[in-house]
C-alpha cells in the first residue's frame, strides 16, 4: 500500500528532527553515525545506506557504517576509497541538487575504484525503476566547507529512482547529519584534549617532587607521550662547552638508536627555529623544509607512523626549545610519531608549550638544588670534595679498615709559596694553581680513592687498602704530573707531601695529625735545603 504524501512528509520531518537531536545527545561518534544512517534509511525508505567518512590522516574515505543486508555489510564495511576514485563519480553530469545520481550504464565500472556492492535483485523493465547497478551519492561538509563524508544510498523500497523532492530531502538530511557528525567529532576531540590536559597537570604536579634532573626529564618525556599521544619523545640538553645537544631522556626509542646515542649540533638545530613554522612556541616543519636547514649528518630518524594529505603527519619535525630565565636555549624537546597520524592542532601544541615551560621551571629549580647540594660537599673553586666531606669519609674509611683489618693510607698535600704567588702574580694566578692541583689529583688517583681540598692551599687523598709505599708512589706521580705542566707567567706549582698509614689504635684525628706532621716536616726540609723531594 502506498504511503500518503502527508505521512511521508511527517516522517521526513521527524527524521530531520531526530538527526538534529543527535547533536545534543550524549552519544559517542560511533553511536552518532549509526543513528544517522539508520534514520536516513528509515525516513527515505532505502534498504541500503552507507556512510563513507573522510579520514584526514589519510586523505581518503572509509566505510564506517552500513545499514543494510549482511551481504552489503560484508562487502563494504571497512572499505577505503581515495579522492581520485570519488572525483570520477562526483562530476557535474551526475549532479542533482547536491546529490549525484549515476544511472545504470552511464559509467564504466570496470575501472578499479574500490569495493562495490550490487544487490542481487531483478532488473526492471520500467526506465524510471531503480536498477541494481544504479548509484546515488550525497557528499556533506562541515561548518567550514571541508568535506566530512559521503552517503551512498540504494535499493529504495518503492523500487523507483528518487524524485527531485526526495533527493532534496536526502540532501537536507545529509546537511543535518554533517552538523551532528561534526559536533560528535569535536566533542571527541575536546574530550581527548581535556584528558590530555588533566594528565599533563597531574604530571606537572610531580615534577617538583622529582629528586634529580634526570628524573624530571624522564617524567617530562613520559608525560608528553601519554598525554599528547606522541609515540616517540626525547629531550636533549645543551652543553655550553661543546655546543652539542645530548639526549638525557627518551621514551619510545631503543637505547642504541642514533637519536639517543648521537649528539646534535646546536647551531644546526637552531636553524629550525624559524618564525614561519612557529605555532604556540613550538616549531613544526615539513620534512623538506627541515632538511634544507640541517646537514644530512643531523638526520637521526625518519618517521614511520605517517599519513597522507594536507592534514597528515608525514615525516614532519617537531621541536620545542627550552629556555632559561634569561631566554637562552638550554635544551630541546623532540616529539615524533603522533598516534593519530595527524598534524597536531594549535591547542595540542599550546598544551605542549605550556608543559615544556613548567618542565623548564622544574628543571632549573632541580639544577639549582643539585648545585646547592653539590656545594654542600664540594669546594666551589676546584670542584673537589670539601673538608666537611673529608671528615665524614675519613671516619667511614677508618671504621671500615678497623672492621675488616684492611690498611688505609692518608696523603696530605700543601702548595709551596702560594702566598708569594698571590702577592707576585695576583689571586687569579693562585686560583689557577689550586685548580691545576685539583685537575692533577683527578687524573692520578685511583677509581676507589678520594681527593679533597681541606683548606686554603691544602689537599688530601684517602687511599683505601693502600700501604705507605702505595701512597708514596701516588705522591711521586702527582709531583711528576705537576712538574711536567707548562709554566704560566714564569711560575710553576710545587707541593709538599705528608703520608700516614692507619694503625689499629689510630682514630681519624690521629691519622690526620700524623699526615700533617709529616707534610710540615717535608715543607721545612725543602725550605731549609731548597730541595724537591717526597717524604
- Residues identified as active-site: 457
- ∠ at Cα 199 (196, 201), nearest 5°? 110
Q: Are residues 188 and 28 in contact, defined by beta-carbon separation less than 8 angstroms?
A: yes
The three-state secondary structure class of 357 is helix
Per DSSP, 206 falls in state H
Q: Which residues contact 227 (CB under 8 A, 6 or more apart)?
A: 195, 196, 197, 199, 200, 203, 351, 355
In angstroms, the CA 108 to CA 122 distance is 21
Q: How far, CA to CA in Å, does 487 sit from each of 93, 425, 484, 490?
A: 93, 13, 9, 6
The pairing of strands 99-102 and 278-279 is unpaired
Task: Return the sign of the alpha-carbon dihedral for residues 246, 248, 250, 254.
Answer: positive
Euclidean distance between the first and final Cα of the chain, in Å?
Answer: 121
The helix (H) or strand (E) run that includes residue 19 is: helix 5-24
Strand partners, 62: 53, 80
Per the CB < 8 A criterion, the answer to whether 90 and 139 are in contact is: yes
Helices (H), 124-212: 164-207
CA distance linking residue 409 with residue 405, whole number of Å: 13
Q: Is 68 exposed, middle or buried (0-12, 13-18, 19+ CB in 10 A)?
A: buried
Amino acid at each position: 500500500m502506498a504511503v500518503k504524501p502527508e505521512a511521508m512528509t511527517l516522517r521526513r520531518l521527524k527524521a530531520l528532527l531526530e538527526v538534529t537531536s543527535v547533536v545534543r545527545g550524549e552519544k559517542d561518534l560511533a553511536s552518532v553515525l549509526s543513528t544517522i544512517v539508520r534514520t536516513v534509511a528509515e525516513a527515505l525508505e532505502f534498504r541500503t545506506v552507507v556512510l563513507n567518512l573522510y579520514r584526514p590522516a589519510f586523505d581518503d574515505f572509509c566505510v564506517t557504517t552500513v545499514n543494510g543486508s549482511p551481504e552489503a555489510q560484508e562487502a563494504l564495511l571497512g572499505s577505503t576509497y581515495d579522492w581520485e576514485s570519488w572525483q570520477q563519480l562526483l562530476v557535474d553530469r551526475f549532479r542533482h541538487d547536491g546529490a549525484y545520481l549515476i544511472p545504470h550504464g552511464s559509467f564504466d565500472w570496470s575501472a578499479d575504484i574500490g569495493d562495490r556492492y550490487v544487490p542481487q535483485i531483478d532488473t526492471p523493465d520500467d526506465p524510471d525503476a531503480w536498477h541494481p547497478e544504479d548509484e546515488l551519492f550525497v557528499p556533506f561538509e562541515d561548518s567550514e566547507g571541508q568535506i566530512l563524508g559521503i552517503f551512498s544510498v540504494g535499493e529504495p523500497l518503492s523500487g523507483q529512482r528518487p524524485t527531485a523532492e526526495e533527493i532534496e530531502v536526502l540532501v537536507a538530511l545529509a546537511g543535518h547529519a554533517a552538523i551532528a557528525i561534526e559536533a560528535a567529532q569535536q566533542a571527541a576531540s575536546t574530550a581527548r584534549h581535556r584528558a590530555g590536559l588533566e594528565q599533563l597537570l597531574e604530571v606537572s604536579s610531580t615534577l617538583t617532587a622529582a629528586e634529580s634532573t634526570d628524573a624530571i626529564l624522564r617524567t617530562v618525556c613520559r608525560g608528553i607521550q601519554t598525554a599528547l599521544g606522541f609515540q616517540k619523545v626525547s629531550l636533549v640538553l645543551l652543553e655550553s662547552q661543546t655546543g652539542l645537544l645530548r639526549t638525557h631522556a627518551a621514551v619510545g626509542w631503543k637505547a642504541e638508536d642514533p637519536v639517543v646515542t648521537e649528539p646534535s649540533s646546536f647551531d644546526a638545530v637552531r636553524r629550525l627555529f624559524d618564525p614561519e613554522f612557529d605555532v604556540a612556541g613550538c616549531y613544526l616543519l615539513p620534512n623538506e623544509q627541515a632538511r634544507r636547514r640541517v646537514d644530512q649528518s643531523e638526520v637521526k630518524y625518519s618517521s614511520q607512523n605517517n599519513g597522507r594529505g594536507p592534514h597528515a603527519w608525514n615525516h614532519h619535525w617537531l621541536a620545542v626549545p627550552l629556555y632559561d630565565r634569561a631566554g637562552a636555549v638550554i635544551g630541546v624537546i623532540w616529539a615524533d610519531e603522533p598516534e593519530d597520524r595527524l598534524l597536531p592542532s594549535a591547542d595540542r601544541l599550546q598544551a605542549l608549550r605550556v608543559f615544556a615551560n613548567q618542565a623548564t621551571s622544574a628543571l632549573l629549580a632541580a639544577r639549582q638544588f643539585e648545585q646547592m647540594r653539590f656545594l654542600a660537599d664540594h669546594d666551589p673553586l676546584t670542584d673537589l670534595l670539601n673538608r666537611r666531606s673529608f671528615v665524614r669519609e675519613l671516619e667511614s674509611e677508618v671504621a671500615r679498615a678497623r672492621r675488616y683489618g684492611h690498611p688505609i693510607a692518608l696523603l696530605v698535600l700543601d702548595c709551596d709559596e702560594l702566598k708569594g704567588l698571590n702577592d707576585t702574580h695576583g689571586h687569579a694566578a693562585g686560583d689557577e694553581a689550586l685548580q691545576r692541583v685539583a685537575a692533577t689529583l683527578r687524573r692520578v688517583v685511583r677509581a676507589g680513592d678520594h681527593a679533597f681540598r681541606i683548606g686554603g692551599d691544602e689537599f688530601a687523598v684517602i687511599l683505601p687498602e693502600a700501604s705507605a709505599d702505595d701512597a708514596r708512589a701516588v705522591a711521586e706521580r702527582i709531583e711528576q704530573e705537576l712538574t711536567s705542566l707548562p709554566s704560566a707567567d714564569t711560575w710553576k706549582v710545587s707541593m709538599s707531601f705528608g703520608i700516614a698509614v692507619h694503625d689499629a689504635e689510630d682514630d681519624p684525628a690521629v691519622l690526620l695529625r700524623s699526615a700533617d706532621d709529616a707534610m710540615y716536616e717535608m715543607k721545612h726540609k725543602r725550605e731549609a735545603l731548597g730541595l724537591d723531594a717526597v717524604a
